[in-house]
Structure 1
Amino acid sequence: MNFKALFATLLLALFLSTGTTVFAKTAQATATINIRSSPSTSAKIVGVFPKGFKAQVISTSGEWTKISYDGVVGYVKTDYIMITNDNSKANSKKALSTSDQVFYQTAVVLKDNARLRSDKSTSSKIVKTLSKGSKVYVLSREQNGWIKVKTSDGVIGYMAYYLLKINGASSSKTVSRGGYDREDKINYNGSLADRIIGFAKNFLGIRYRYGGSSPSTGFDCSGFVQYVFRNFGIHLERTAADMAASNGVRISPDELRPGDLVFFDTDGGRNYINHVGIYIGNGMYIHASSARRCVTISDLTSKYGTSFMMAKRVIR
C-alpha cells in the first residue's frame, strides 16, 4: 500500500471513530418546476419536479441545483426548492422533542380508524389507528400521496392525503410560458373529490407521453388518471377501456359531479373507449391530451365532448 492510500485509510478510520455523520441533502419543491439537462433555462426539459415532492440533491452551484428525482437526473432552479439535511436519528429525536406547534403544520384526521403506517405503502405495518378529529403534526409531504406525521403521543408514521385535513395547506401558482416555474392554486382541505382535483391540477402542463405514468417523464390519459387516484389509495386499471369496464359505478351524464371519470372514443367511431379524464365541475374535465401534448383542462362540449361515451363514479 502506498503512502497516499495508507493516509486515506487512516483518515477514514479516524473519521469513523469520532462518530461524525455526513448528512445527505434532500430537496423539496416549493413549486412545480422543470428538470433540465443542464443548468440553463434554454436546456432540454428532461422531467418535472412536482410541488411538495422530494428529491436527492447531487450538487448545488449558484442558482442551479442538480437533483435525482424519480429516476431522472437533471438541474432545477434553486429558488424553487427547499434544501435540508437528512439528520441523524439522534438529532431527529431531539428536534421532535421540542415544541411541535412551533415547527410543524397541524392536520386533523377525517375518518375514524384512520391508519398510521410504518412506511409509505398500504401493505406496510399499521402502527396506530386514529379517531376522526384527532390532531397530528405534519413532518413532511412524501411522494405518491403520503404524509409523514407525528401523533400527539409521539408516534411517527405515514398517512394517506385523503385521511387528513391539513391546516393552511393552500398556495397559488402562475404557469409561465414553456413550462412550470411557479405554483398553482391548490386546496387540500375540502372533500376527497376536492383534494383529488387539487392534486391533479399540480400536473397541468406536464407533457403528454404515450405509455407514460409518471410526472417526471410524462403521462398518457389513463396513466395520469391512475397516478392521481393511486395517491389517494384508489386503485384503477391501467387503460381507459379497462377502467371503463372494471372500475366504479356507471352514471348518467346529468349525474356528473367532481371526481367522476369521463370516457371517450376519440377516433369518432363511438364503438371503443380510448380516452379518460377526471370531471372537475362546471362542464370541465382535466386530462392528459395527446392533441395538446400536455395535461390540460377541456370543456365537455369541445372536440372531445362530441366523442363522449360514458361516465363512472369511483369515489364512494
Structure 2
Amino acid sequence: MNTKALIGVLVFLLFITWSIKGFAKTAEATTTVNIRSAPSTSAKILGVFPKGFKAQVLTSSGGWVKISYDGIVGYVKADYIKLTKDAKVSNVVKSSATSKQTVAQMPTATVLKDNARVRSDKSTSSKILKTLSKGSKVYILSREQNGWIKVKTADGVVGYMAYYLLKMSSTSSTKMSSRGGYDRENEVAYNGTLADRILEFAKNFLGVRYRYGGSSPSTGFDCSGFVQYVFRNFGIRLERTAADMAASNGVRISPSELKPGDLVFFDTDGGRNYINHVGIYIGNGQYIHASSARRCVTISNLTSKYGTSFMMAKRVIR
C-alpha cells in the first residue's frame, strides 16, 4: 500500500472514531429491567437498570442491547428501553444554536436555593460551570443517573444540577406536586415538596433486588442501604444502619404525625427491643422499603407483618 492510500485509510478510521464518540447512543430504561450476562432471559442477572435512568449503548442485536451502566456491562431486552443519540460532547458545555421555538417548547424548572451550582458532570466533584440565584429559570434537557438533571440556563450554559435544587414546572415530564406545609402541632418543620421529589425518586427502584449489605441499584439494596441511597441523592446524609439512623438522624414524631417522606423503623424479630429495619413512609398507611422477605424493593402496609413490629418514626426532611 502506498503512502497516500495509507493516509487515506487512517483519515477514514479517525473520522469513524470521531463520529462514534460524537454521536454515541444512549439507552434509557422505560421500566426497571434486569441486566444479564448474555442476551438470554435465562442468563445470569448481573444487576438492575432502573426506570428513567440512562446508560451507554455498546452494541445491539436480536432484540437485545449491550449496555454499560454503573460499572456493569451486560444485556437488556430492547423492549424495555428507548434509544437516543447524544449530541457531540463539545456542544454540551455551551451552545447558542438552539432556536427560540425549540427553547420555548422545553420544560422548565425554578431554582430553589441561592448559589445553586450547574456542573460539568453528574458529580459534586465536577467543575462548576455557573451558579444560579433562587428563582432563576432553567430549561430541562433530560433526567440523568442518580438524581441529576441536565439543564440549559437562560444564557445557554448546558450542564447538570442536583434534583433537589429544582422545582419542576407543570409542563415538565418530571412533574412534582407543589404542596408544602408546616406541622404546627409539634413544631417540627416539614418540606412537603422535597418529600414528593424524594418519593418519586425512590419509586424508580421498585423491583430492584434485595441484597444484604447492598447500597446500589445495580447490585441490590438492603433496607438501610436503600434509604441512605435515596436520601443521599437529595443532600441528606443518614447513618448506614437502621439502628444508627433511629438513634442519630432526624426528629422523633408520633405515628399520628406521619407524613410522606418520614422514616419508619421496625424490629422484625418480634422482640420489640432492637431496631433492625427501616423504610420511607409514602402516605395512606404505606411505606417503601427493601424487603428481605419479598427479596426486592417493594411497598407494604403498616398493618402487614413488618407493621406489627413498628417501633418508631422520625422526620429528616426539614
TM-score norm. by structure 1 comes to 0.83
Contact conserved, 2:95 with 2:156, CA < 8 A, in 1?
no
Partner in structure 2 of residue 174 of structure 1: none
Against the structure 1 CA distance between its residues 83 and 8, is the aligned structure 2 distance closer, same or farther, given a 3 Å change threshold? farther
Partner in structure 1 of residue 37 of structure 2: 37
Q: Does residue 11 of structure 1 match 2:12?
A: no
Alpha-carbon distance between aligned partners in 2 of 1:113 and 1:313, rounded to the nearest angstrom = 26
Letter in 2 for 1:149: V
Out of 176, 185, 194, the residue aligned to residue 188 of structure 1 is: 176
Contact conserved, 1:169 with 1:189, CA < 8 A, in 2?
no
Q: Does residue 294 of structure 1 match 2:292?
A: no
Cα deviation 1:240-281 (Å, max 9, x = unaligned): 111112211111222111101011111112221110000111
Alpha-carbon distance between aligned partners in 1 of 2:70 and 2:109, rounded to the nearest angstrom = 27
Partner in structure 1 of residue 77 of structure 2: 77
Cα deviation 1:91-128 (Å, max 9, x = unaligned): 55568543442674322223344332343233444443
Q: Helix, strand or coil: the match of 1:35? A: strand
Out of 154, 157, 162, the residue aligned to residue 155 of structure 1 is: 157
Contact conserved, 1:187 with 1:195, CA < 8 A, in 2?
no
Alpha-carbon distance between aligned partners in 2 of 1:285 and 1:163, rounded to the nearest angstrom = 25
Counting matched residue pairs gives 298
Alpha-carbon distance between aligned partners in 2 of 1:312 and 1:75, rounded to the nearest angstrom = 40
Letter in 2 for 1:209: R
Task: Give the superposition deviation at 1:42.
Answer: 4.1
Against the structure 1 CA distance between its residues 251 and 127, is the aligned structure 2 distance closer, same or farther, given a 3 Å change threshold? same
Letter in 2 for 1:152: A
Task: Give the superposition deviation at 1:302.
Answer: 1.7
Alpha-carbon distance between aligned partners in 2 of 1:9 and 1:272, rounded to the nearest angstrom = 72
1:1-316 equivalences under 5 Å are 11-12=9-10, 15-16=13-14, 20-23=18-21, 24-90=24-90, 92=92, 96-99=97-100, 100-101=102-103, 104-167=106-169, 168-170=171-173, 187-190=175-178, 191-316=193-318
Stretch moving more, 69-78 or 15-24: 15-24
Letter in 1 for 2:176: Y
Against the structure 1 CA distance between its residues 8 and 281, is the aligned structure 2 distance closer, same or farther, given a 3 Å change threshold? farther
Partner in structure 2 of residue 176 of structure 1: none
TM-score norm. by structure 2 comes to 0.83
Task: Give the superposition deviation at 1:69.
Answer: 1.1
Alpha-carbon distance between aligned partners in 2 of 1:261 and 1:50, rounded to the nearest angstrom = 23
Task: Give the superposition deviation at 1:8.
Answer: 7.4
Contact conserved, 1:119 with 1:157, CA < 8 A, in 2?
yes
Q: Helix, strand or coil: the match of 2:20? A: coil
Instruction: State percent identity of aligned pairs.
Output: 76
- In structure 2, runs of 5+ residues without a counterpart are 179-192
Q: Helix, strand or coil: the match of 1:224? A: helix
Letter in 1 for 2:194: L
Against the structure 1 CA distance between its residues 90 and 37, is the aligned structure 2 distance closer, same or farther, given a 3 Å change threshold? closer
Letter in 2 for 1:188: M
Q: Helix, strand or coil: the match of 1:52? A: coil
Alpha-carbon distance between aligned partners in 1 of 2:18 and 2:201, rounded to the nearest angstrom = 40
Contact conserved, 1:213 with 1:220, CA < 8 A, in 2?
yes
Against the structure 1 CA distance between its residues 278 and 87, is the aligned structure 2 distance closer, same or farther, given a 3 Å change threshold? same
Against the structure 1 CA distance between its residues 275 and 138, is the aligned structure 2 distance closer, same or farther, given a 3 Å change threshold? same
Against the structure 1 CA distance between its residues 110 and 187, is the aligned structure 2 distance closer, same or farther, given a 3 Å change threshold? same
Alpha-carbon distance between aligned partners in 1 of 2:63 and 2:231, rounded to the nearest angstrom = 35
Q: Helix, strand or coil: the match of 1:22? A: helix
Contact conserved, 1:221 with 1:287, CA < 8 A, in 2?
yes
Against the structure 1 CA distance between its residues 124 and 250, is the aligned structure 2 distance closer, same or farther, given a 3 Å change threshold? farther
Task: Give the superposition deviation at 1:18.
Answer: 9.9
- In structure 1, runs of 5+ residues without a counterpart are 171-185
Alpha-carbon RMSD across the aligned residues, in angstroms, is 2.8
Stretch moving more, 271-280 or 301-310: 301-310
Q: Helix, strand or coil: the match of 2:260? A: coil
